[in-house]
Structure 1
């Protein structure tokens, strides 16, 4: 099998002719003069003929050099052109980005801001998958995922956007009928809705202002795999639940739900944008990550906007 042509040496040869000297070619190519000279010598050795007449005062082409110059110039020009064109294209966000996000958060908050992203980057196509189970970014081919969790150590790259408060909530009518719990141990007397995707759905953990930790096993009439689906039953006064603020904030503002046991905090997850290992990301992925971080850090469930 024949060897590939020495494209670098041909491009160096053309640059030497273009600039008129080895030294000026070296400056333009950001190479040492010795490296430029070796590239031309390597090419001459491979061809078995000289390309330049060299004297202490001038540099001129041999007949072989003159015959090769036009095509060598095309090699240099095409190489410069393809690099410039590819660099320009890579600077423009375009192509498909696959994004995964939890169902409730995706419907309540992510969906509202994606039209602005598409308007800003019209050549980017989004492939959005909403699911409450943890997707495998690498195996399933996702570029990014929005995750609300206390993330374990992993090879994935995670960018924290903001903390996400979780609170114990119920309807005023529930508290009128059954009273408000004051301590986690009181919850064994209450009807508690649970979230099936938690590590241990029936075990609720809390920490007080002094750092005291406690946990309690709870029971209730319903377990769901989407926290948003609990909202109607909570408003109807049928039980209590630990709800993320991004789901219940409007009900809290409207007074249809109230918080309880505010001196005790459940574990606080954070909103992260997670991507597969590797620091190099296509520009289409980077601009989406920056956009999500910018827009989701201004949490409207906290500002009330």
Structure 2
């Protein structure tokens, strides 16, 4: 029988009982007295029970109607609470925020940002998965991924958070043995540490002060599939490589690495938040805003 009951009539019934009359209920519902009466008659017919006893002067609930009204009022209150909670989910970050990030960026940049985010929004629990492989956001149920460099074509949405410089570096020990390159063409004779996650790990374009581009093909002496591993090779004096500024900043300041070809520029890389769907959820938008703010503060302090 329940499958045959129009649940909209429950709201009319509860409104009728609360209003105390068909006229008052019709005014509250924005309909006619006849329509309220029709809804009640159909509800009683669908239930097979008389809910109200009506006279020309007043109406009163039957025993069945009184019990049914209590249940209906509770159901409607639960529905209203559920809608209110849904509104909170739409307007307030909550739930689990699952983020993927690169190995060089995740622990140093994304993890502190997630900690600050969880502090700001205690109804959110955070999960960070670190690795340099490109994750499938939908299949692996990630809310977003923080990706570095240059984005490949994708059906995913992306927001650019910041930029970073690419730095050609080598250790003092390596340069003492192999010499210091003066031009991009000199690089072809040096030992190169290739970062295999890049589309072209041994081919780079350097731009001179006059805007002239110099495409150089390097000879790989070693390769690594993570930025931090390539960095380890370079610091150990195995060869030279191009590494992000946020990875080598401390080494340059301490003299563990030296910058090369200062008169030439390399393409800037980007920090991107990538997410599925046309619009990010409130928790994803809030974290993107927080991370962008923190990255801008770091960039300003450099």
Normalising to structure 2: TM-score of the pair?
0.79
Aligned to 1:193, what secondary structure does the other structure show? strand
**Number of matched pairs:** 293
- Name the counterpart of 1:29: none
State whether structure 2 residue 161 is matched by structure 1 residue 158: no
For the 8 Å contact 1:192–1:241, the answer to whether it is kept is: yes
1:69/1:126 Cα in 2 relative to 1: closer, same or farther (>3 Å)?
closer
What do you get for the CA RMSD once the two structures are aligned? 3.4
**Deviation of the 1:238 alpha carbon:** 3.6
For the 8 Å contact 2:6–2:43, the answer to whether it is kept is: no
Larger deviation, residues 226-235 vs 97-106: 226-235
State whether structure 2 residue 126 is matched by structure 1 residue 134: no
Measured in 2, the distance between the counterparts of 1:38 and 1:186 equals 89
1:25/1:213 Cα in 2 relative to 1: closer, same or farther (>3 Å)?
farther
For the 8 Å contact 2:156–2:274, the answer to whether it is kept is: yes
Larger deviation, residues 204-213 vs 129-138: 204-213
**Deviation of the 1:101 alpha carbon:** 0.7
Measured in 1, the distance between the counterparts of 2:34 and 2:250 equals 73
Larger deviation, residues 13-22 vs 264-273: 13-22
1:61/1:141 Cα in 2 relative to 1: closer, same or farther (>3 Å)?
same
- Name the counterpart of 1:252: 252
Normalising to structure 1: TM-score of the pair?
0.78
**Deviation of the 1:303 alpha carbon:** 2.1
CA shift digits 1:88-138 (9 cap, x unpaired): 577664433221111111233333444333444444333321111111111
1:98/1:82 Cα in 2 relative to 1: closer, same or farther (>3 Å)?
closer
- Name the counterpart of 1:149: 149
CA shift digits 1:238-292 (9 cap, x unpaired): 42110001100111222322222233333322101111114262x5544433333
- Name the counterpart of 1:196: 196
CA shift digits 1:16-43 (9 cap, x unpaired): 44346246423xxxxx536x97576345
1:252/1:77 Cα in 2 relative to 1: closer, same or farther (>3 Å)?
same
- Name the counterpart of 1:25: 28
State whether structure 2 residue 300 is matched by structure 1 residue 297: no
1:124/1:70 Cα in 2 relative to 1: closer, same or farther (>3 Å)?
closer
Measured in 2, the distance between the counterparts of 1:40 and 1:299 equals 67
Measured in 1, the distance between the counterparts of 2:18 and 2:8 equals 15
- Name the counterpart of 2:181: 181
- Name the counterpart of 1:239: 239
For the 8 Å contact 2:184–2:214, the answer to whether it is kept is: yes
Measured in 1, the distance between the counterparts of 2:229 and 2:258 equals 17
